[in-house]
Amino acid sequence: MNFRHGILLGILTITGLSLHAQVSTDYPITMSDRIILNATLVTPSTAPPQNGFPAVVFIHGLGGNKADLTLVSTLISGRGFACLLYDVRGQGTSGGLSTIMGERETQDLREILAFLQSVPGINPQLLGVAGGSQGGVHAWLAAMHHMAGVQTIATLVAPPSYSLDLFPAECIKQQLRFELSLSSVRYDPLRDRLRAFVIQEQYDSVRTFILSRDITPLVDSVRIPVIQSLGWGDVLFHANSALRAVQNLSARSVPVWSYFGTNGHGESIHVPEYLFVVETMLGWFDYWLQGVPLDNAQSLRIILADDRPSWPHTELTTWPPQDAGTVRLYFTGGSLQTSPPAAEAQYGFSIRYDSTYLPLYGWDQSYAGTAFRNAFQATPVRFVSPPLLDSMNVAGIPEARLFLRGNAARFQAHLRLFDVTDVDSGSTWSLVTRCTNGVRGVGAGTVVEKQIEGQAFAHHFPAGHRIGIEVSPLDMYDTNRAHIIPYFQSASAELLSSPLYPSCIDLPLIGAARFTAVATSPAESPTSFTLSQNYPNPFNPSTTLAFTLHQEQHITLQVYSITGQRIATLLDGVMPRGEHRVAFHARGLASGMYVARLTSGAMSRAVSMLLVR
One domain for residues 88 and 14: yes
Distance CA 303, CA 283 (A): 15
- The residue out of 522, 544, 565 marking a domain boundary is 522
Question: What total number of domains does the chain contain?
Answer: 3
pLDDT band at 528 (very low <50, low <70, confident <90, very high): low
pLDDT of residue 564: 61
> Which amino acid is located at 162 in the chain?
Y
Q: Give the structural domain span for 422.
A: 325-522
Give me the mean pLDDT over the 300-314 stretch.
93
The band of 10, judged by pLDDT with boundaries at 50, 70 and 90, is: very low
* Residue 399 CB neighbours (<10 A): 20
pLDDT tens digits for 193-212?
999 999 999 999 999 999 99
Is the pLDDT assigned to residue 12 strictly greater than 70? Answer: no
pLDDT at 20 exceeding the cut of 80: no
- Please name the residues in contact with 241: beta carbons below 8 A apart, sequence gap of 6 or more: 159, 160, 161, 164, 165, 216, 219
Higher pLDDT, 586 or 224: 224
Q: Name the pLDDT band for 6 (thresholds 50, 70, 90).
A: very low
Do 507 and 468 touch, CB atoms closer than 8 A?
A: no
> Do residue 219 and residue 244 come from a single domain?
yes
pLDDT of residue 512: 52
Of 59, 307, 5, 2, residue with least CA distance to 175: 2
Decide which of 282, 298, 316 is a domain's last residue: 316
In this structure, is the dihedral angle defined by the CA atoms of residues 282, 285, 290 and 292, taken in order, positive or negative?
positive
Mean pLDDT calculated for residue range 584-602: 81
In this structure, the answer to whether residues 130 and 263 fall within a common structural domain is yes
SS3 582: strand
pTM score: 0.82
Q: Please tell me whether residues 548 and 478 are part of one structural domain.
A: no
Predicted local distance difference test score (pLDDT) of residue 142: 98
pLDDT (tens digit per residue) in 567-586: 899 999 999 888 888 999 98
Phi–psi pair at 294, nearest 5 degrees:
-150, 125
Q: In terms of domains, do 575 and 508 share one?
A: no
Chain Cα centroid distance, residue 321? 20
Residues 6+ apart with CB under 8 A from 135: 3, 58, 59, 60, 61, 156, 158
Are 293 and 369 members of one domain? no
DSSP-based three-state secondary structure for 197: helix
Domain identity same for 413 and 287: no
Q: What is the 3-state secondary structure (H, E, C) of 370-424?
A: HHHHHHEEEECEEEECCCCCCCEEEEECCEEEEEEEECCCEEECEEEEEEEEEEC
Q: Is pLDDT above 70 for 516? A: no
On whether both 253 and 232 belong to a single domain, the answer is yes
| Helix, strand, or coil (residue 175) | helix
Whether 300 and 220 share a structural domain = yes
Q: How many CB atoms lie within 10 A of CB 413?
A: 28
What is the four-CA torsion angle of 77, 80, 86, 88, rounded to 10 degrees?
A: -110
341-345 contacts, C-beta under 8 A, 24 or more apart: 341/497, 341/498, 341/499, 341/502, 342/499, 343/498, 344/496, 344/497, 344/498, 344/499, 344/500, 344/501, 345/496, 345/497, 345/498
Contact yes or no for 414/435 (Cβ under 8 A): yes
| Contacts for 414 with CB less than 8 Å, ≥ 6 apart | 434, 435, 436, 437, 471, 472, 473, 474, 475, 484
- Which position has the higher pLDDT, 86 or 607? 86
Distance CA 18, CA 24 (A): 18
Query: Which residues is 159 bridged to in the sheet?
Result: none
Residue 522 has pLDDT above 50, yes or no: no
Residue 74 shares a structural domain with residue 208: yes
Query: pLDDT-derived band of residue 192, with 50, 70 and 90 as boundaries?
Result: very high
Nearest to 157 by CA among 228, 85, 222: 228
SS3 breakdown of the chain: % helix, strand, coil, rounded to 5?
20, 40, 40
Separation CA 257–CA 262 (nearest Å): 16
Per-residue model confidence (pLDDT) at position 563: 54
Of 279, 296, 316, the last residue of a domain is 316
Where residue 508 sits, what CATH number does that domain have? 2.60.120.260
Q: What is the CATH number of the domain that holds 592?
A: 2.60.40.2550
Which CATH number belongs to the domain containing residue 24 in this structure? 3.40.50.1820
Give CA–CA dist 121/49, Å, rounded. 8
Q: Find the mean pLDDT for residues 139-156.
A: 98
342 and 276 within one domain: no
Q: Are 504 and 544 contained in the same domain?
A: no
> Rounded distance, CA 72 to CA 7, Å?
11
